[in-house]
Amino acid sequence: MTKRTFKFVYPVLIAGLALVACASRPELAARSAVVPPGADLSGLWRLREEPGAKPVPGGGAEPGIRIPPKNTSTSAGTRRPKRASGSSVTMFLETGSSLKISQTPDGLFISFDRSIVEEYTFGENRTVSVGPIEAQRVSGWNGMVFVVETLDGQGTLLTESWHLESGGAVLVREISVTGGDNDRFSTRQRFDRI
């Protein structure tokens, strides 16, 4: 490498490294707080048994996503991590075979198997936590689909979407976990109105 080439390449290399070092984790775009006319997910729902359906991850099932060891209990009886030696958006994923959804003008309350209740505010953009683990969450409407996105500190993104099919008789929940350019997990659940 000549002295002249070095003088040109070195500053470009330094500038590139500075840009990479200053890059922050991606931010989530806000979702609409306006409920579309006729969009109401309220009701009692039972998970449809579908052969070959992928199980929803729980407690460290996904490779590449670090989850702290489980060693403390919450008041709901489920186990939660005591220390955040790692982080995972799957800690924010609730599942159940029966759901009760109550929709207000401002948000949704979803009860999973009558034990855990999640509250989602339409148009929210805030930090949520499970014990010491924190993530950014946005939720709101994209047309007739309610979308919740949760992003952890490592850039892993949990996306959940909810919409109705079959004239409101079927609730469809789509779940995906991605990190960078990789799809780590995705599944679709169907719930029948009861």
Domains in the chain, start-ordered, CATH in brackets?
Answer: 26-193 (2.40.128.20)
Mean pLDDT computed over 122-147: 95
This prediction's pTM: 0.72
Q: Is 89 a residue whose pLDDT tops 80?
A: yes
pLDDT digits (tens, 9 = 90+) for 8-17: 554 544 444 4
pLDDT tier for residue 56 given thresholds of 50, 70 and 90: confident
Q: Is 7 a residue whose pLDDT tops 80?
A: no
Left if phi > 0, otherwise alpha if psi is -120 to 50, otherwise beta: which for 99?
beta
Beta carbons within 8 Å of 94's beta carbon, 6+ residues apart: 110, 112, 116, 118
pLDDT tier for residue 51 given thresholds of 50, 70 and 90: confident
Report pLDDT for 27.
Answer: 82
**Contact status, residue 148 vs residue 157, Cβ threshold 8 Å:** no
